[in-house]
């Protein structure tokens, strides 16, 4: 009988043959060069154990040379390391066997590099073989670490950090070994910075979160000596990113509570590095970020190069900062006062061929709106008022239009009652960046107002005569009760917004109208808001002396006190002024609680306190305790407003979490009342049942002011109590505050946008109304997608919300998101909304305002409170944007009421978004403009922009874009190309 054949035998034989074939193929693939290198490495390893010292030294020297040459530009695993790796245990045994000290140190250096390829596991104890690269490096011969290659530097830096943390955790760490680690740490940091890994070199000097209290000490002080001109840019970028990490994230992941001083210490080290290398413009940017007036003055004084000083003066003017420094040249004073802005702005407009005035109809493009043929154009007062705002925003700063300034126009009289205030104030917006006196219209009121604007214009160097067209004679006294004088006073403030003048024309002209007991409330409000805009962010003491008595006077009407508080907040934004804080909070405490809660303008008093501490974080703690002492809803509103303003733009994770929790709460008190009351069947189900969608929509509409109140299911007798939300709703401010805090950090802004989508679905009506405004803050003047998330598409859906106030805020938010961009997609969506809401005057008014914002400044301005690279906030613009958002929380009561002139708060946020290269005159230079790329911590020399296009200056810069010179003929005096950049000839450039 034949033996039974094993069924697995053929398969095993096949596998064996395949392995043999594969092994043979691998042997055949080894080239002659690789085979020679393998043989050479084996010979060198053998010679390392030779008895002759000279042979061992030569073998280790040759081995080191092969490794260094192979790792100098590592794109794959170096072949010497690959072929030496199997001999790693052998070389360790040779080193353990002892011998000559010089040979042992040379061998330790080689083993340190080889350990990088052999460390598959890292035990928790160092004596078990963990961090062998560091261990052998410490006993090696020393020398430049970077000579062994970039990857070795990264690996060694990581092990230094691990070893440092492990020794800190061990209570019995030996003092001498700690000193050795510190020495290796400094050595690794120096080599990394000197080679191509500056970020990795700085990393060991910045410990983990549990070491954060030590950051302000010796470790950061050890960094500047190792930084030079070749690596300063990468090190400073890394430190700036580390400061953001220290300020926001560390407090979340560690028991140590991060303080603002910790982030400031990191930035101060970066400033010290830049000042040592005489990179004064870059140091100035960081000083502006710190808002350190002393550092700003010191940097300006330390610079002895006139051109660099002038470049920093342009930067200060763009930021709205005017330090008082004695001995500066008169030219620098004029630049910091903003005298250059009109010239460059009009040069940009001339270059882009947009000097021709535009009418509101050019913006509306009503012929493209799909209206019924029977619908005739109605000349309504609200439509004319909307056209007034659109005309002012679109032609902002151009000094010419087709409505208000032409000879013989009567547009002022097409606005009724309070609308004339905004119409007269639009003259200031049109002349916001003037280069010559305005043309005088022939209509009496308008011409008198224009003459007043001319007398107060910035080009008047002598003190203007306090000529008051409304009070020069007793016959004109009766005009004080009419709206046009208030509008003219507001126009004076708008005209001087962002422009400094030693004569202070705005203060001279508006001073008489803010004294207690003088003039009408409407006239006072125009003068007060005009002062706030004229001296936005200047901290002028004369304004303090005039407005504090107005706030403290209990006989002054609440609306006037509210406007004075807002003006104080705008003028002293970020100053932490204690006297103003106490005065406003005292006014809140001394007035009746009921009157404060029923008046929507009370929010402006709270906002005035908040703006005083904008971006100041922990410095607002004392004021926060005072605000909590204010009783009722006004106190809660003031406290949350103050907290959100204090942490605006900081990206503080803990504050975002707290505010999200507050915004996500539901009004349990209202629900308990509904459950306790004998509710009718249809209406009781509307609050919670998904099937009663019509009822829920009606409830929201009733809460918002009632466009769909009939659909709420209240036909059961009309006795059901409508849910009324408080005018000063804390949840709405918390929702807006989430966006304010997260707006200064890209990742936090993206996560907040996602959270807002959930909050909008499940939040109460006040929260839902604030969500569109929060989205606008996160994406102001940035209609493009944010990492795949389209904010504009989200807002477009919200514009059809059943709640009219939510839809109104969403419409306004669309205008803010595309502000000054001329975005065609948003413009088309707004035209569709104009058709959809054609029969609802309030909604149509919001659509028209949004259309004007999209085309603001004919596309030459931005509303964003951040610079294009988002690294530096512009706090006066941020204060103006926050103020408008708070006002818009009650859009129906304020903007659609008699306080629509508050829309001119946006003038404080509108700034030219241009890049102009200049030597002594504007210079046309080719630049590349593209999307900015975050290169912090990346190896090599990565590209800083992507998807770029080449233009000739002047050019426009959008949010998130970055520019760089496309020619080597000139050198910029600052590394960040935005605003006005001074160029100098490159001495090493050789033309064709």
Tokens of 689: 């049942």
Tokens of 113: 């590099």
> What is the per-residue pLDDT for 479?
32
Write the CA distances from 750 to 107, 738, 785, 874, 933, integer angstroms: 51, 12, 10, 21, 16
Q: Which residues contact 120 (CB under 8 A, 6 or more apart)?
A: none
Element (H, E) at 751: helix 746-762
Three-class secondary structure of residue 171 per DSSP: coil
Query: Nearest CA to 479 among 517, 443, 520?
Result: 520
Whole-angstrom Cα distance, residue 286 to residue 790?
32
* Secondary structure string (H, E, C) spanning 124-156: CCHHHCCCHHHHHHHCCCCCCHHHHCHHHHHHH
* Beta bridge partners of residue 962, listed in sequence order: 930
Token reading at 748: 């936090």
- Both tokens of residue 587? 């006014």
pTM listed for this prediction: 0.74
| Angstrom distance (rounded) from CA 331 to CA 8 | 94
H or E segment and range at residue 207: none
How far are the Cα atoms of 44, 60, 107, 135 from residue 90, in angstroms, in the given order? 12, 14, 12, 17
Q: Which residues pair with 917 in a beta bridge?
A: 981
The sign of the dihedral angle between the CA atoms of 717, 719, 723, 726 is positive
What DSSP string runs through 375-433? PPP---HHHHHHHHHHHHHHTTTTS--SSSSSTT--GGGGS-TTHHHHHHHHHHHHTSS
Task: Quote the pLDDT of residue 183.
Answer: 58
**What are the b/e assignments for 787-797, b being 16+ CB within 10 Å?**
eeeebbebbbe
Contact 454, 418 (CB under 8 A): no
List the chain domain ranges.
41-121+130-156, 218-337, 363-433+779-911, 926-985
- Nearest-angstrom CA–CA distance, 226 and 240: 17
Give, in degrees to the nearest 5, the angle at Cα 852 between 899 and 377: 85
End-to-end CA distance of the chain: 96
Enter the tokens of residue 718: 């009309």
Q: What are phi and psi of 486, to 5 degrees?
A: -65, -40
Q: Is the distance from CB of 449 to CB of 405 less than 8 angstroms?
A: no
Contact between residue 701 and residue 708 where contact means Cβ atoms under 8 Å apart: yes
Find how far residue 811's CA is from the centre of its chain: 23
DSSP 848-898: HHHHHHHTGGGGTEE--SB-TTSSSB-HHHHHHHHHHHHHHTTIIIIITTT
- Rounded Cα gap, residues 297 and 290, in angstroms: 13
For residue 916, the cross-strand partners are 980
In the 8-state DSSP scheme, what is residue 786? B
Q: CB count, 10 Å around CB of 56?
A: 23
User: CA 509, 484, 860, 818 torsion: positive or negative?
Assistant: positive
Report CA Rg, the chain: 34
The series of mean pLDDT values per 10 residues for the chain, 992 residues long, is 50 60 56 79 80 81 78 60 78 78 81 73 47 79 72 78 73 54 55 48 45 44 67 72 57 41 74 84 88 89 89 88 82 83 84 89 81 54 91 90 83 82 88 49 41 40 32 31 68 85 82 74 90 92 91 90 95 93 94 89 94 91 92 92 93 89 75 49 37 37 37 35 72 94 86 90 91 94 71 92 94 94 92 91 94 93 86 90 95 92 93 78 85 76 83 86 87 86 84 54
Distance of CA 559 to the CA centre of its chain: 32
Beta carbons of 676 and 771 less than 8 angstroms apart: no
Whose structure tokens read 């703006």?
611
Q: What's the burial of 99, exposed, middle or buried (CB within 10 Å: 0-12/13-18/19+)? A: middle
> What is the pLDDT at residue 744?
82
Tell me 537's DSSP state: T
Rounded Cα–Cα distance for residues 631 and 634 (Å): 7
pLDDT of residue 223: 65
| Contact yes or no for 464/485 (Cβ under 8 A) | no
Phi-psi region of 584 (alpha: psi -120 to 50; beta: other; left: phi over 0): alpha
**Cβ neighbours, 10 Å, residue 366:** 13
Pairing of strands 961-965, 911-912: unpaired
Q: In what order do the strands lie in the sheet with 945-952?
A: 945-952, 926-932, 961-965
């Amino acid at each position: 009988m034949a033996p039974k054949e094993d069924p697995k035998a053929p398969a095993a034989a096949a596998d064996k043959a395949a392995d043999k074939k594969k092994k043979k193929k691998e042997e055949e693939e080894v080239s002659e060069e690789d085979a020679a290198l393998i043989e050479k490495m084996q010979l060198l390893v053998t010679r390392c154990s030779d008895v002759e010292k000279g042979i061992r030294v030569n073998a280790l020297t040759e081995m080191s040379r092969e490794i260094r040459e192979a790792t100098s530009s590592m794109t794959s695993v170096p072949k010497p390391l690959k072929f030496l790796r199997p001999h790693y245990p052998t070389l360790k045994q040779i080193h353990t066997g002892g011998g000559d000290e010089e040979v042992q140190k040379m061998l330790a250096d080689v083993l340190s590099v080889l350990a990088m390829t052999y460390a598959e596991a890292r035990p928790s104890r160092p004596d078990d073989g963990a961090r062998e690269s560091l261990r052998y490096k410490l006993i090696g011969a020393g020398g430049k670490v970077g000579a062994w290659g970039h990857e070795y530097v990264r690996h060694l830096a990581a092990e230094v950090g691990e070893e440092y943390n492990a020794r800190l955790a061990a209570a019995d760490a030996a003092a001498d070994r700690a000193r050795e680690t510190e020495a290796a740490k400094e050595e690794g940091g120096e080599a990394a910075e000197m080679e191509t890994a500056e970020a990795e070199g700085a990393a060991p000097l910045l410990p983990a979160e549990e070491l954060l209290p030590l950051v302000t000490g010796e470790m950061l002080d050890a960094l500047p000596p190792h930084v030079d001109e070749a690596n300063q840019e990468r090190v400073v970028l890394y430190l700036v990113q580390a400061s953001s990490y220290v300020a926001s994230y560390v407090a979340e992941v560690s028991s140590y509570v991060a303080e603002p001083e910790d982030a400031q210490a990191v930035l101060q080290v970066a400033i010290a590095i830049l000042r040592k290398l005489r990179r004064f413009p870059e140091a100035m940017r960081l000083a502006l970020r710190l808002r350190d007036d002393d550092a700003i003055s010191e940097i300006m004084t330390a610079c002895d190069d006139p051109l660099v000083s002038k470049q920093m003066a342009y930067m200060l003017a763009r930021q709205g900062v005017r330090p008082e420094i004695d001995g500066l040249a008169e030219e620098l004073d004029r630049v910091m006062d903003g005298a250059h802005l009109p010239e460059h702005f009009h040069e940009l407009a001339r270059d882009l061929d947009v000097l021709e005035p535009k009418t509101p109809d050019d913006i509306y493009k009503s012929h493209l709106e799909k209206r019924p043929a029977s619908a005739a154009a109605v000349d309504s007062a609200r439509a004319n008022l909307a056209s007034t705002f659109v005309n002012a925003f679109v032609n902002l700063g151009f000094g010419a239009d087709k409505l208000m300034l032409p000879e013989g126009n009567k547009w002022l009289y097409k606005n009724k009652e309070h609308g004339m205030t905004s119409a007269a104030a639009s003259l200031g917006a049109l002349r916001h960046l003037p280069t010559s006196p305005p043309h005088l219209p022939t209509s009496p009121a308008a011409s008198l107002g224009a003459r007043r604007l001319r007398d107060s214009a910035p080009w008047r160097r002598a003190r203007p005569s306090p000529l008051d067209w409304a009070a020069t004679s007793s016959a004109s006294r009766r005009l004080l009760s009419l709206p046009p004088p208030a509008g003219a006073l507001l126009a004076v403030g708008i005209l001087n917004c962002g422009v400094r003048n030693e004569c202070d024309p705005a203060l001279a002209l508006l001073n008489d109208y803010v004294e207690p007991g003088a003039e009408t409330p409407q006239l006072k409000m125009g003068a007060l808001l005009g002062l706030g805009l004229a001296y936005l962010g200047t901290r002028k003491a004369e304004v303090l002396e005039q407005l504090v008595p107005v706030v403290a006077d209990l006989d002054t009407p609440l609306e006037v006190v509210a406007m004075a508080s807002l003006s104080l907040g705008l003028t002293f934004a970020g100053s932490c002024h204690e006297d103003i804080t106490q005065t406003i909070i005292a006014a809140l405490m001394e007035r009746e609680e009921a009157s404060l809660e029923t008046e929507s303008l009370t929010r402006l008093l709270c906002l005035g306190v908040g703006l005083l501490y904008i971006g100041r974080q922990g410095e607002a703690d004392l004021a926060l305790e005072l605000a909590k002492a204010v009783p009722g809803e006004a106190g809660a509103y003031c406290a949350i407003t103050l907290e959100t303003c204090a942490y605006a733009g900081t990206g503080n994770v803990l504050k975002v979490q707290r505010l999200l929790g507050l915004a996500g709460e539901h009004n349990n008190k209202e629900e308990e009342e509904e459950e306790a009351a004998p509710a009718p069947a249809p209406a009781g189900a509307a609050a919670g049942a998904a099937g009663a969608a019509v009822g829920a929509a009606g409830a929201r509409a009733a809460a918002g002011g009632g466009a769909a109140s009939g659909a709420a299911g209240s036909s059961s007798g009309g006795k059901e109590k409508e849910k009324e939300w408080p005018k000063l709703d804390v949840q709405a401010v918390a929702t807006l505050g989430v966006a304010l805090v997260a707006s200064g950090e890209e990742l936090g802004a993206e996560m907040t946008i996602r959270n807002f989508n959930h909050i909008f679905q499940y939040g109460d009506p006040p929260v839902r109304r604030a969500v569109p405004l929060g989205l606008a803050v996160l994406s102001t003047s940035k209609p493009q997608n944010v990492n795949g998330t389209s904010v504009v598409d989200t807002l477009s859906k919200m514009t059809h919300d059943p709640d009219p106030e939510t839809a109104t805020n969403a419409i306004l938010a669309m205008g803010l998101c595309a502000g000054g961009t001329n975005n065609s997609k948003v413009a088309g969506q707004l035209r569709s909304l104009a058709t959809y809401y054609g029969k609802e005057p309030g909604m149509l008014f919001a659509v028209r305002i949004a259309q004007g914002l999209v085309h603001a400044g004919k596309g030459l301005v931005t509303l964003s409170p951040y610079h294009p690279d988002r690294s530096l906030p512009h706090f006066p613009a941020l204060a103006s944007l926050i103020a408008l958002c708070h006002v818009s929380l009650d859009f129906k009561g304020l903007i659609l009421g008699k306080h629509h002139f508050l829309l001119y708060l946006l003038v404080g946020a509108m700034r030219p978004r241009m890049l102009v290269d200049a030597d002594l005159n504007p210079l046309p230079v080719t630049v590349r403009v593209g999307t900015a790329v975050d290169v912090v911590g990346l190896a090599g020399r990565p590209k800083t922009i992507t998807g770029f296009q080449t233009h000739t200056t002047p050019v426009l810069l959008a949010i998130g874009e970055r520019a760089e010179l496309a020619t080597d003929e000139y050198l910029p005096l600052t590394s960040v190309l935005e605003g006005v950049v001074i160029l100098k000839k490159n001495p090493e450039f050789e033309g064709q």
